[in-house]
Structure 1
Amino acid sequence: MPSTGPGGRSGLGARVRVGYGLGSFATGTFGTVPGLLLLYYLTDILGVGAGLAGLLVFLPKAWDVLLNPWIGSLSDRSTRTRFGPRRSWMLLGALTMPLCFAAMFAAPGLDGGPAAAYVAVLFLLTASAYACFQVPYVALPAELTADPDERARVMSWRVAFLAVAILLSGAVAPLLAGATAEDRGSPGGYRLMGAVIGALLAAGMLAAVAATAGTRSVLRATSEPGLRAQLRAARGNAPFAWLLGAFVTQAAATGLMLAGTQYFATYILDRPGATTLLFICLIVPSLLAMGLWLAIGRRAGKRNAAICASLCFLLGALGAAAGRELPTALIYGAVAVAGVGYAGMQMLPMAMLGDAIAADAYTSGRRRAGVFTGLWTAGETLGLALGPGLFGLVLALGGFASSDADHRVAQPDSALTAIVVGFGALPAALLLLSLPLLARYRLTEAELVRLRDAAGAGPAVRSDGTA
């Protein structure tokens, strides 16, 4: 339970910080495994055409663009429950999403069109259940503390666990699926992977619900009366709008690289098992760089630090784009450089989001964190879904030939070019597009403190909506 000090500052205990961060085992895993393996599972295990597979990976997540703001609005208004306005929805997602995820990778003896339909329906259900957890989960930091620096510390815990989840799931999921140096995977391996990763998802979600129970909201605000009014307010919040645009663009770049990792390892490095090493090169530097970006953010401001992190990731993506010409060691080095930038790209925008939500509450007196994070997670989901969709389109344009689990088809030179374009060149281009958007975010830490002090430090509100 946070203790509120002068000016509304709130020092959070280790249980809340660590417990909140544990939820990233779920968000990091779900953000990684489908983006890493689902497109490959469809094209190289179930024999679905690359263009159709890319569309099926994109459409269920596009549904979240409509669903997430609605869930956010409901979590803002549903305050009179035993678990509070956020945790009741988080618990619903924790109990349903892991089961849907496991079933998604357990197509019962299907291939081609029937397999595509099965996976599409299960992916839709999984994404919907995930939204029930993710939207209120992302809303919590703005309500846990009024201190911008404390919010950044909370985000550092979250991103640290996120990086560990990405490393574990990105390394372990292909091994469980059977995608080793000698094998590209099997239907039975993917079923095992789905069950194990589903259990990891459940553990992270339930831990976050339990650890943050009983915390108080530091925002003295009332709920906005309806979704339409909340959406109008979010649209008029300039810092949020520019930050969201940059984050969605960068999420699409990340989604492209995730979707291309297994293809890059299999067809460019000629080592299907190299997926694990590529992830180690991405995530270990990310973990080591967390403190660096936190320090740069404090000294230069979160926005300037986020721009530097984006440039770092851009440099790594350009190295990956030259994957057919560079020695293998240099390719791994380029991925490591991208990993250093990835840490800042994840931690800093999330802390900036919390600042934008808090600024809105200070100036409006309204509880709208849910709809802001609903739009945010919808944008993130859309961006991560656009990545595999774009990668599938690039593969189709490059003449990539799909196969099943028993036969590996030789690819034309145009398909190999398409793989490096999708894995490196397109992500680099998207990073360039995101930089002007990020530069338009102008909510400084000093301005946020001024707004907080002007609003005054009201009494904390319990998670169930009572004082």
Structure 2
Amino acid sequence: MSPSDALPRRVRIGYGLGSVATGSFGTVPGLLLLPYLTDRLGVPAVAAGLIILVPKAWDVILNPIAGRISDSSSSPQGRRRPFLLRAGATLAVLFMLLFAGPASSAALGAAWVALAFLGCASAYAFFQVPYVAMPAEMTLDYDERTRLMTWRVAILALAILVSGGLSPAIRDAVGHQHGYRAVGVFVGLLILLGTYGAWRGTAGAPAYEVEAPNAGLRDQLRLVAQARDFRVLLVTFVLQALACGAMLAGVDYVARWVLGRPGASSILFVCFVAPALLVMPLWQAVGARWGKQRGYLAASLLFLLGALFAYAVRTTSLGLLAAAVALIGVAYAGVQLFPMAMLPDTAAADAARTGENRVGVFTGVWTGAETLGLALGPGVYALVLALGGYASSTSADATQSPQAVSAIAIGFALVPAVLVAVSLVPLARYRLDEAVGRRGGRS
């Protein structure tokens, strides 16, 4: 790597701070929005799942459009940076409104959440897509992208830990009536912090300019779909996002109904995220030694084993379940790091081959599919709850049937295990190795 390809530490950290915004928004709705709808507003489980799913499904359409717009934009601040500030600030304000819906009527509260979450998803698209597109333009070096992603994923893990770990505690401390509103304000401020950090920290960062594509969006999507390694990587990541979304949605329910300890949701969540802060350098070393694809495969297998272990010990003790979740957390660091480091390789290889910059379209498709997977996770989990006969209620003293409690555990552990097992099939077909990544070869 030439000195010109090495990014300053300030830029690495600054770029990584954007994960405070993405991690907070990606985590807290997945953790608390479904319980907010079913146990605070009294919305039936299936309807609650649809309310979470529809705005994210909208992102599947919007994200490639956001990528196309950012690909074609220009600014003295950089092609992508102005999007970060405008969209991030809008997202923060809308998030503060998300958990402030009226509790007097389930229908009215559901409508409030649906509209607010749709606005959040739209603003997030114009933050996330330019943000994810930046690494492929900031450096041409294969290993430097991994280092950049290491900072991003480490800060992402910390952001997820803080937002997801503290939000249930804040809700419980403030109380059933106003706790969720306090969560909305807390997370909105975190999003503002991450937005400003990413915008400020990437000022003056390198920007390797490649001609923006001339073809229309439909043609761009068709060409991106023909990139084989991108396609199999995307399928793998979406299946695992679906697994993570289902598991995240189940944390609050498992703590309350399976363990009988509502306050344990923060403990389980911290056990899920905290290991990532410790093992991230280990996964980076695995990638450097064995390659990104093999590292990704190892992390996925570990995630699968952890999910099966969690189901086996679900009713024994909080300690054993926390240990199983911590094992999943170790794997989670790898299944986040490797695909995010592999994505810019596929986009850069396409740009080198075609001479056109389609990185925004690549990342638009990627983030749209990722958000759909994360939204489908709670949706699938809500469906499992409904099949088990889960009873939604506005009362803190509601009870559940044994069948509903079994469904809570199945959706939390067995469903994610099956999804991760299926994801191993496309992952085995990824072929863009280090040598190809270094020279920007065929995708």
In the superposition, the TM-score normalised over structure 2's length comes to 0.97
Per-residue deviation at 1:232?
A: 1.5
Task: Tell me whether 1:102 sits opposite 2:96 in the alignment.
Answer: yes
Q: Residue 361 in 1 paired to residue 351 in 2?
A: yes
Query: Which AA in structure 2 matches 1:137?
Result: Y
* Cα distance in 1, alignment partners of residues 19 and 214 from structure 2: 28
Match of 1:22 among 8, 17, 25: 17
Partner of 1:196: 186
Deviation at 1:211, TM superposition (A): 1.1
Provide, for residues 146-199 of structure 1, a one-character-per-residue CA deviation record: whole Å limited to 9, x for no partner: 111110000000000010011101111111112x6xx9x523111111011101
Query: Helix, strand or coil for the counterpart of 1:23?
Result: helix
Question: 1, 5, 15: which one pairs with 2:2?
Answer: 5
Indicate whether 1:121 and 2:115 are aligned: yes
Structure 1 residue 384 corresponds to structure 2 residue 378: no
Partners in 2 of 1:327 and 1:174 — Cα distance?
A: 21
Q: CA deviation at 1:323?
A: 4.2
| Aligned partners of 2:61 and 2:368 also within 8 Å | yes
Q: What is the aligned partner in structure 2 of residue 152 from structure 1? A: 146
Residues 24 and 204, structure 1, Cα contact 8 Å, conserved in 2: yes
Which of 286, 304, 307 in structure 1 is aligned with 2:297?
A: 307
1:318 counterpart = 2:308: yes
- The correspondence for 2:165, drawn from 171, 178, 182, is 171
- Match in the other structure for 1:253: 243
What's the secondary structure of 1:204's corresponding residue?
helix
Cα contact 1:219–1:361 (8 A) shared by 2: no
TM-superposed deviation, 1:315: 1.1
Can you list the C-alpha shifts for 1:424-465, whole angstroms capped at 9, x where unaligned? 00000000010011111110011122336x9xxxxxxxxxxx
Aligned counterpart for 1:427 among listed residues 416, 420, 437: 416
Instruction: Select the residue among 37, 41, 45 that pairs with 1:46.
Output: 41
Q: CA deviation at 1:117?
A: 0.8
> What is the distance in 2 between the residues matched to 1:203 and 1:165?
11
Question: Is it true that 1:335 corresponds to 2:325 in the alignment?
Answer: yes
Flag the 1:214–1:223 CA change in 2: closer, same or farther, 3 A. Answer: farther
Report what 1:375 is aligned to: 365
The alignment status of 1:88 with 2:77, answered yes or no, reads no
Contact 2:23–2:160 (8 Å) recurs in 1: yes
**Equivalent pair of 1:320/1:420 in contact (CA under 8 Å):** no
Deviations 1:246-295 (A, max 9, x none): 00000000000110000000111111111111122112211111011100
Offset, 1:82: 3.4
Counterparts of 2:439 and 2:82, CA distance in 1: 33
Structure 1 Cα separation of the partners of residues 52 and 69 of structure 2:
27
CA contact (8 A) 1:106 1:187 kept: no
Cα 1:5–1:219 change in 2 (3 A) is farther
**Which TM-score applies when normalising by structure 1?**
0.92
- Paired position in structure 1 for 2:30: 35
Match for 1:16: what amino acid?
A: V
Aligned AA (1:133): F
Q: Deviation of residue 225 (structure 1)?
A: 3.5
Distance 2:100 2:76 in 1: 35
CA distance in structure 1 between the aligned counterparts of 2:302 and 2:66, rounded to whole angstroms = 35
| Pairing 1:75–2:64 present | no
Is residue 2:440 matched to residue 1:451?
yes
**d(CA) in 2 for partners of 1:196, 1:165:** 12
- Cα deviations across residues 316-355 of structure 1 (Å, max 9, x unaligned)? 1112222444332211111010000000000110000010
Do the aligned partners of 2:41 and 2:103 also contact (CA within 8 Å) in 1? no
Question: Which residue identity is paired with 1:416?
Answer: V
Quick one: which of 381, 386, 390 aligns to 1:400? 390
Equivalent AA in structure 2 for residue 320 of structure 1: A
Judge conservation of contact 2:56–2:372 (CA < 8 Å) in 1: yes
1:136: which partner in 2?
Answer: 130
Distance in 2, matches of 1:62 and 1:170, equals: 23
Q: CA deviation at 1:235?
A: 0.7
Which residue of the partner structure matches residue 238 of structure 1? 228
Bigger mean CA deviation after superposition, 67-76 or 202-211: 202-211
**1: CA distance between counterparts of 2:153 and 2:160?**
10
Q: Percent identity at matched positions? A: 52
Q: 2: distance between equivalents of 1:326 and 1:407?
A: 25
Secondary structure of residue in 2 paired with 1:326: coil
Work out whether 1:347 is the aligned partner of 2:337: yes
- 2:208 is matched with 218
Residue identity in the other structure for 1:99: V
> Quick check: 1:224–1:367 contact (8 Å CA) kept in 2?
no
Supply the RMSD in Å over aligned alpha carbons: 1.6
Task: Tell me, in whole angstroms, the C-alpha distance in 2 between the residues paired with 1:407 and 1:239.
Answer: 49
After superposition, what is the alpha-carbon deviation per residue over 1:28-67, rounded to whole angstroms, capped at 9, x for unaligned?
1111100000000000011111111111111111100000
For these two proteins, the number of residue pairs brought into alignment is 442
Letter in 2 for 1:152: T
Q: Which residue of 2 aligns with 1:410?
A: 399
Q: What SS class does the counterpart of residue 80 from structure 2 fall into?
A: helix
* 1:304 aligned counterpart, secondary structure: helix
Is contact 1:400–1:411 with CA below 8 Å preserved after alignment?
yes
Q: Deviations over 1:106-161 (max 9, x none)?
A: 01343311111110000000011011100000001111111111100000000000
